[in-house]
Structure 1
């Protein structure tokens, strides 16, 4: 992919954006960032510039509050299974990457590739990554977008046991995400699957146009895997099917933007991240923007740079988003000043919530360290510092490892050359 040299900077002017939807003083300044300027109105957007604090006071999400009814709809499908049960039934093996097969990445420590079928399939494409601990098992969860249209199978996730990265392979299994529609029935989740964030028993999924979908990892159900089920979804006679997958993970609720919200207040949920820094944990969400077919409302004359990054507060006691009067407001928002962003992770070596890593397909693949106080630091695929086509990320709370997944270059299966991989680097090496 063509682009500017790593140190180059292009200066652009952005048009003045007006309208009542932009009114308001925005979120209060956080104690760790007293000198930040809030970006409202005309702003010169510069690629690689520090994050610009953005007034997001017009934006909110509303809880669809289907927590109880969704779980009740799945009761007839079978007993609820937790994630630990699935982790005892992993059926695929992804070989570990070696010195000769891993992609270039600054601070590389380890990783794995998928099995041969998953490396080469054109039906499913990896997108997002999150991680955590289930029982005593360190677990990575990766989402895959279904690339075909008839039928649209929606989104599947892979749960992988990453407890022992010195073994010869990582064991994993795919599950299909579903949305309950009525008692004893469900449908596919027709989304891109571009973002995941795991809090407690809840898995948050980016809903590009509307907000966040929430799935309950204690509500996994086993379904039929007979030949008749390979082309069927939902109830089929006396059994339930999921296109041949053995397990389904059901949606239990969603946080959506009111229909009355319009651009530029209305945003896109392209990718997600998990941030446990500060006094309030947060789901991070951001917009993918480029200078071609996917501009963003704040781009103006600076295509691709106006993508916004939001912090959505999480109630640490319930692991649900914090609501006030039935609405969730972002506690913080930024203009990223970066194009083609695909993922985000917090800089865990600081308690301040003003610095992040951004995963981008700019320059064919890049990792950007960004903050409100300094211009970005870039690790580029063209300089053998980062792999091609990086997507979602997860930073371990200990400040040790930064995990990421790659989408894979079309037609390439060799992991060192752009094939699909999951790997981690030393956070300190890219800090």
Structure 2
């Protein structure tokens, strides 16, 4: 069904009163937010934990997000121009024609347990065992005639130099082969004409729309990368330990390709907690006539968790729906500002990823990937308690992270972070796999 969006008259009134709403939220509004209840979906009058206690596994709680907005940094043309001296812009097809690593396919004895399992692959031996890089997010799409999975990895060492985030571009067109070919690409942010730097983020979420790759920026919002602006850089010995313009070369710590950021959507600094969320993960939802970027918060159930959890640590993580302009594949803005069209409190701890349940038209239903119980897939909605698939019951993989649901409603893909020190893919090593959506619906 079409997404419900604010009516034009309501948008005008909302923009006029935005400053008052933000001021009210900053002044100390509780978990319920600070906007009018009329923005909520009919039949879900509870606006947060202040009206409906948080219970693990309970239905999604509708949340009032009227105090929240993001601002387009509008560096689209500037950042692209900064890369001109580096060399010609290359499309994703150039990387796909130059894949240099092979990840063996999972077999009946090497794949992790998962309800509805259909297929998957592991990384090569070096990527299975490295402690420098850790897989985080997954998204998928099509480039030309090639089906592609993109996985982000964050750089784990705390000592200099910081290498930021890399992505793996994998050709998943034929999962009947013996291996999946892939290549790592370093994400960079242009800093001046002919120069760039790494992006020191966690890389906890990815969503692919058109030529744009959205990545979660934990503290501030989402960063956007342009897959048509990939550049080839030097792989000389000098570049193994360098980033940016070095002498007559452009370096990326030995990586052959860089994917540059072109803009970002950030929460203004004037918006503070509890209105200000974390952007722990993102996802893609194309149900209805208006696609959305999903963003959500990781809240740890064993610690203080999110500041708006009250007496139920870990359960107050929020899930937001950010509308995308289907023509430009950028977020929909009014005067440079974008507002979430809907929001929920998840009532689940340790959430690492989200995917829409494509076998239904209800936009209030999702799969949540969680490291709760060592690994779990939760089916959630605003009308029913969750359905859980747990790694401890041999129903799901350990340490799952980002997810992607194919638009056809056929497959649900996920990537695992991997259990520390484990390289066996069947017992907790890093894997990418997919299951039948209907089996976990």
Q: What's the TM-score bracket when you normalise by the shorter of the two chains?
A: over 0.9
1:95 aligns with 2:74: no
> 2 CA distance for matches of 1:62 and 1:422?
34
- Residue 39 (structure 1) aligned with residue 47 (structure 2): yes
Q: Is the 8 A contact 1:38 1:55 kept in 2?
A: no
- Structure-2 separation of matches of 1:179 and 1:120: 28
| Partner Cα separation in structure 2 for residue 87 and residue 334 of structure 1 | 38
Tell me the SS of whatever aligns to 1:404: strand
Asked if 2 retains the 8 angstrom alpha-carbon contact of 1:142 and 1:157, the reply is yes
Residues 219 and 294 of structure 1: CA distance in aligned 2, closer, same or farther (over 3 Å) = farther
SS state at 2:108 partner: coil
Deviations 1:246-290 (A, max 9, x none): 000000000000000010000000001000012210000000001
Deviation, 1:26, is: 5.4
Superposed, 1:212-251 pairs within 5 Å as 212-251=222-261
Q: 1:327 aligned to 311, 333, 337, which one?
A: 337
Q: Distance in 2 between matches of 1:291 and 1:380?
A: 17
Query: Secondary structure of the equivalent of 2:95?
Result: helix
Match of 1:59 in 2: 68
Residue by residue, what CA displacement relative to the aligned partner does 1:330-376 show, whole Å, maximum 9, x if unpaired? 00000000000000000001122000000000000000000001000
Match runs of 1:136-215 below 5 Å: 136-149=145-158, 150-215=160-225
Task: Please report the RMSD computed on the Cα atoms of aligned residues, expressed in angstroms.
Answer: 1.3
Q: How many residues align?
A: 412
Three-state SS of the structure 2 residue aligned to 1:229 is helix
- Residue 294 of structure 1, CA deviation: 5.5
Q: Which runs of 5+ in 1 are unaligned?
A: 1-16
Displacement, 1:240?
A: 0.2
Residues 27 and 55 in structure 1, CA contact (< 8 A), matched pair in contact too: no
Give the whole-Å Cα distance in 2 for the aligned partners of 1:322 and 1:283. 11
3-state SS of paired residue (2:36): coil
Distance 1:241 1:27 in 2: 53
Alpha-carbon contact 1:111-1:423 (below 8 Å) kept: yes
Correspondence for 2:35? 24
Looking at structure 1, the residues matched to 282 and 183 of structure 2 have their Cα atoms a distance apart, in angstroms, of 22
Equivalent of 2:384 in 356, 364, 374: 374
Which stretch shifts more, 34-43 or 237-246? Answer: 34-43
- Deviations 1:380-417 (CA, angstroms, capped at 9, x unpaired): 00000001000000000000000000000000000001
Give 1:272's aligned residue.
282
Q: Does the aligned pair in 1 maintain the 2:215–2:222 contact within 8 Å? A: yes
Is the Cα–Cα contact under 8 Å of residues 239 and 254 in structure 2 kept in the other structure?
yes
Question: What SS is found at the alignment partner of 1:417?
Answer: coil
SS class of match (1:277):
coil
TM-aligned CA deviation for residue 298 of structure 1? 2.3
Query: TM-score, with normalisation over the residues of structure 2?
Result: 0.92
Q: Is 2:131 the partner of 1:125?
A: no
Equivalent position to 1:282, from 277, 292, 302: 292
Give TM-score scaled by structure 1 length.
Answer: 0.94
Q: Which runs of 5+ in 2 are unaligned?
A: 1-25
Greater displacement, 378-387 / 144-153? 144-153
Structure 2 vs 1, CA of residues 261 and 26 (structure 1 numbering), >3 Å: closer, same or farther? farther
Shift of 1:226: 0.7
DSSP-derived class of the 1:62 partner: strand
The 3 A distance-change label for structure 1 pair 339 and 20 is: closer
Going from structure 1 to structure 2, the CA distance change for 1:160 and 1:339 (only over 3 Å counts) comes to same
